[in-house]
Structure 1
Amino acid sequence: MVIELLKFKISAEMQKTYVQKDAEIWTTALAQYPGFLGKEVWLNPHDSTEIIFVIRWATKEHWQAIPFAELEAVEQNFAAALGDTYKLVESAEYQVQTEFSSFVKL
Protein backbone atom coordinates (compact mmCIF):
# COMPACT_ATOMS: atom_id res chain seq x y z
CA MET A 1 0.00 0.00 0.00
CA VAL A 2 1.11 3.56 -0.76
CA ILE A 3 0.05 6.66 1.14
CA GLU A 4 -0.36 10.02 -0.53
CA LEU A 5 -0.22 12.78 2.09
CA LEU A 6 -1.41 16.28 1.25
CA LYS A 7 -1.32 19.22 3.66
CA PHE A 8 -3.34 22.36 2.96
CA LYS A 9 -3.74 25.74 4.59
CA ILE A 10 -7.19 27.32 4.56
CA SER A 11 -8.92 29.92 6.69
CA ALA A 12 -10.65 28.50 9.76
CA GLU A 13 -13.95 29.94 8.50
CA MET A 14 -13.70 27.94 5.25
CA GLN A 15 -12.64 24.64 6.83
CA LYS A 16 -16.07 22.98 6.93
CA THR A 17 -16.93 24.03 3.38
CA TYR A 18 -13.51 22.93 2.16
CA VAL A 19 -13.86 19.45 3.65
CA GLN A 20 -17.40 19.07 2.25
CA LYS A 21 -16.40 20.18 -1.26
CA ASP A 22 -13.32 17.96 -1.17
CA ALA A 23 -15.50 14.94 -0.39
CA GLU A 24 -18.00 15.85 -3.11
CA ILE A 25 -15.44 16.62 -5.81
CA TRP A 26 -12.04 15.06 -5.14
CA THR A 27 -12.95 11.94 -3.17
CA THR A 28 -15.80 11.12 -5.55
CA ALA A 29 -13.45 11.46 -8.53
CA LEU A 30 -10.63 9.40 -7.00
CA ALA A 31 -13.00 6.63 -5.89
CA GLN A 32 -13.66 5.83 -9.56
CA TYR A 33 -10.10 4.66 -10.12
CA PRO A 34 -8.80 1.14 -9.50
CA GLY A 35 -6.48 0.94 -6.55
CA PHE A 36 -8.11 3.74 -4.54
CA LEU A 37 -8.53 2.28 -1.05
CA GLY A 38 -9.81 5.28 0.86
CA LYS A 39 -9.13 8.71 2.23
CA GLU A 40 -8.90 10.20 5.70
CA VAL A 41 -9.21 13.85 6.66
CA TRP A 42 -7.06 14.95 9.58
CA LEU A 43 -7.81 18.27 11.29
CA ASN A 44 -5.13 19.78 13.50
CA PRO A 45 -6.70 20.61 16.90
CA HIS A 46 -3.95 23.20 17.51
CA ASP A 47 -4.14 24.91 14.10
CA SER A 48 -7.61 25.31 12.59
CA THR A 49 -6.08 26.44 9.29
CA GLU A 50 -4.38 23.08 8.65
CA ILE A 51 -6.02 20.13 6.90
CA ILE A 52 -4.21 16.91 6.03
CA PHE A 53 -5.50 14.29 3.64
CA VAL A 54 -4.19 10.75 3.86
CA ILE A 55 -5.09 8.88 0.67
CA ARG A 56 -4.50 5.16 0.50
CA TRP A 57 -3.64 3.47 -2.81
CA ALA A 58 -3.16 -0.26 -3.44
CA THR A 59 0.05 0.46 -5.38
CA LYS A 60 2.00 3.43 -6.66
CA GLU A 61 1.19 2.26 -10.18
CA HIS A 62 -2.55 2.60 -9.49
CA TRP A 63 -2.05 6.11 -8.14
CA GLN A 64 0.22 7.20 -10.98
CA ALA A 65 -2.06 5.71 -13.67
CA ILE A 66 -4.60 8.53 -13.32
CA PRO A 67 -4.24 10.72 -16.42
CA PHE A 68 -2.87 14.17 -15.63
CA ALA A 69 -5.58 15.82 -17.75
CA GLU A 70 -8.26 14.20 -15.59
CA LEU A 71 -6.59 15.43 -12.39
CA GLU A 72 -6.38 18.92 -13.88
CA ALA A 73 -10.10 18.86 -14.73
CA VAL A 74 -11.01 17.83 -11.18
CA GLU A 75 -8.76 20.55 -9.74
CA GLN A 76 -10.37 23.17 -11.99
CA ASN A 77 -13.81 22.06 -10.81
CA PHE A 78 -12.66 22.20 -7.19
CA ALA A 79 -11.04 25.64 -7.62
CA ALA A 80 -14.21 26.94 -9.25
CA ALA A 81 -16.21 25.81 -6.23
CA LEU A 82 -13.83 27.31 -3.64
CA GLY A 83 -11.94 30.09 -5.35
CA ASP A 84 -8.49 31.08 -4.15
CA THR A 85 -9.08 30.04 -0.53
CA TYR A 86 -6.58 27.22 -0.06
CA LYS A 87 -2.91 26.50 -0.54
CA LEU A 88 -1.09 23.18 -0.84
CA VAL A 89 1.86 23.40 1.56
CA GLU A 90 3.11 19.81 1.57
CA SER A 91 2.87 16.74 -0.62
CA ALA A 92 4.50 13.45 0.30
CA GLU A 93 4.46 9.74 -0.44
CA TYR A 94 4.84 6.95 2.08
CA GLN A 95 4.94 3.19 1.81
CA VAL A 96 3.26 1.06 4.42
CA GLN A 97 5.73 -1.33 5.99
CA THR A 98 4.00 -4.56 6.94
CA GLU A 99 7.01 -6.64 7.92
CA PHE A 100 9.13 -5.31 10.74
CA SER A 101 11.05 -8.43 11.74
CA SER A 102 14.04 -7.37 9.65
CA PHE A 103 14.14 -3.98 11.42
CA VAL A 104 13.26 -4.71 15.01
CA LYS A 105 14.32 -7.56 17.23
CA LEU A 106 11.74 -8.26 19.89
Structure 2
Amino acid sequence: MVIELLKFQVPPEVRENYIQKDAEIWTTGLAKYPGFLGKEVWINPNDSTELIFIIRWATKEQWEAIPSEDLEMIEEKFTQAMGKSYPIVELAEYQVRKFPYS
Protein backbone atom coordinates (compact mmCIF):
# COMPACT_ATOMS: atom_id res chain seq x y z
CA MET A 1 0.00 0.00 0.00
CA VAL A 2 1.10 3.57 -0.72
CA ILE A 3 0.05 6.64 1.26
CA GLU A 4 -0.31 10.04 -0.39
CA LEU A 5 -0.15 12.88 2.14
CA LEU A 6 -1.38 16.34 1.12
CA LYS A 7 -1.32 19.35 3.43
CA PHE A 8 -3.38 22.49 2.81
CA GLN A 9 -3.81 25.81 4.60
CA VAL A 10 -7.52 26.65 4.63
CA PRO A 11 -9.12 29.53 6.55
CA PRO A 12 -11.20 28.25 9.48
CA GLU A 13 -14.36 29.94 8.20
CA VAL A 14 -14.36 27.83 5.01
CA ARG A 15 -12.86 24.63 6.43
CA GLU A 16 -16.10 22.63 6.77
CA ASN A 17 -17.26 23.63 3.27
CA TYR A 18 -13.80 22.74 1.93
CA ILE A 19 -13.95 19.27 3.51
CA GLN A 20 -17.49 18.69 2.22
CA LYS A 21 -16.68 19.81 -1.34
CA ASP A 22 -13.49 17.77 -1.30
CA ALA A 23 -15.47 14.65 -0.38
CA GLU A 24 -18.10 15.35 -3.04
CA ILE A 25 -15.65 16.18 -5.83
CA TRP A 26 -12.16 14.81 -5.16
CA THR A 27 -12.93 11.69 -3.15
CA THR A 28 -15.82 10.70 -5.41
CA GLY A 29 -13.65 11.33 -8.47
CA LEU A 30 -10.68 9.32 -7.19
CA ALA A 31 -12.87 6.45 -6.01
CA LYS A 32 -13.63 5.61 -9.65
CA TYR A 33 -10.05 4.52 -10.27
CA PRO A 34 -8.59 1.07 -9.56
CA GLY A 35 -6.30 1.06 -6.56
CA PHE A 36 -8.07 3.77 -4.55
CA LEU A 37 -8.53 2.33 -1.06
CA GLY A 38 -9.81 5.31 0.90
CA LYS A 39 -9.16 8.75 2.28
CA GLU A 40 -8.99 10.42 5.68
CA VAL A 41 -9.04 14.10 6.62
CA TRP A 42 -6.91 15.13 9.58
CA ILE A 43 -7.56 18.46 11.32
CA ASN A 44 -4.72 19.90 13.36
CA PRO A 45 -6.13 20.87 16.81
CA ASN A 46 -3.23 23.31 17.29
CA ASP A 47 -3.56 25.08 13.93
CA SER A 48 -7.13 25.70 12.75
CA THR A 49 -5.93 26.40 9.20
CA GLU A 50 -4.13 23.09 8.67
CA LEU A 51 -5.81 20.19 6.89
CA ILE A 52 -4.02 16.97 6.01
CA PHE A 53 -5.47 14.47 3.59
CA ILE A 54 -4.28 10.88 3.78
CA ILE A 55 -5.11 8.95 0.62
CA ARG A 56 -4.48 5.21 0.50
CA TRP A 57 -3.60 3.50 -2.78
CA ALA A 58 -3.11 -0.24 -3.39
CA THR A 59 -0.02 0.40 -5.54
CA LYS A 60 1.98 3.37 -6.75
CA GLU A 61 1.43 2.21 -10.32
CA GLN A 62 -2.36 2.42 -9.94
CA TRP A 63 -2.09 5.86 -8.36
CA GLU A 64 0.17 7.15 -11.14
CA ALA A 65 -2.03 5.60 -13.85
CA ILE A 66 -4.72 8.26 -13.36
CA PRO A 67 -4.63 10.46 -16.48
CA SER A 68 -3.38 13.99 -15.74
CA GLU A 69 -6.29 15.37 -17.80
CA ASP A 70 -8.72 13.72 -15.39
CA LEU A 71 -6.93 15.21 -12.37
CA GLU A 72 -6.98 18.65 -13.98
CA MET A 73 -10.71 18.32 -14.68
CA ILE A 74 -11.42 17.35 -11.05
CA GLU A 75 -9.25 20.23 -9.78
CA GLU A 76 -11.05 22.71 -12.03
CA LYS A 77 -14.44 21.52 -10.77
CA PHE A 78 -13.24 21.79 -7.16
CA THR A 79 -11.79 25.29 -7.68
CA GLN A 80 -15.07 26.45 -9.22
CA ALA A 81 -17.05 25.00 -6.32
CA MET A 82 -14.80 26.74 -3.77
CA GLY A 83 -14.50 30.01 -5.71
CA LYS A 84 -10.70 29.95 -5.49
CA SER A 85 -7.73 27.63 -5.44
CA TYR A 86 -6.02 26.40 -2.27
CA PRO A 87 -2.53 25.20 -3.19
CA ILE A 88 -0.85 22.20 -1.61
CA VAL A 89 1.68 23.41 0.98
CA GLU A 90 3.25 20.00 1.54
CA LEU A 91 3.07 16.65 -0.16
CA ALA A 92 4.67 13.34 0.66
CA GLU A 93 4.48 9.68 -0.21
CA TYR A 94 4.88 6.75 2.17
CA GLN A 95 5.00 3.02 1.69
CA VAL A 96 3.21 0.83 4.18
CA ARG A 97 5.26 -2.18 5.14
CA LYS A 98 3.77 -4.98 7.19
CA PHE A 99 5.94 -7.22 9.30
CA PRO A 100 5.01 -10.66 10.60
CA TYR A 101 4.49 -10.79 14.34
CA SER A 102 5.94 -13.58 16.47
Pairing 1:1-106 to 2, within 5 Å after superposition? 1-84=1-84, 86-99=86-99
Q: Tell me the TM-score normalized by structure 2.
A: 0.95
Identify if the C-alpha distance between structure 1 residues 6 and 100 changes in structure 2 by more than 3 Å, giving closer, same or farther: farther
1:2–1:94 Cα contact (<8 Å) kept? yes
C-alpha displacement at 1:10, in angstroms?
0.7
Instruction: In structure 2, give the amino acid aligned to 1:87.
Output: P
Moved over 4 A (4+): none
Please, which runs of 5 or more residues in structure 1 have no aligned partner? none
User: Percent same amino acid among aligned pairs?
Assistant: 63
Looking at CA atoms only, which structure, 1 or 2, has the larger radius of gyration? 1
Distance 1:13 1:45 in 2: 15
Q: SS state of the match for residue 89, structure 2?
A: strand
Please, which runs of 5 or more residues in structure 2 have no aligned partner? none
1:7–1:90 Cα contact (<8 Å) kept? yes
The alignment of Structure 1 onto Structure 2 pairs a total of residues equal to 102
Instruction: In structure 2, give the amino acid aligned to 1:6.
Output: L
Distance 1:45 1:39 in 2: 19
Q: Tell me the TM-score normalized by structure 1.
A: 0.91
Identify if the C-alpha distance between structure 1 residues 100 and 49 changes in structure 2 by more than 3 Å, giving closer, same or farther: farther
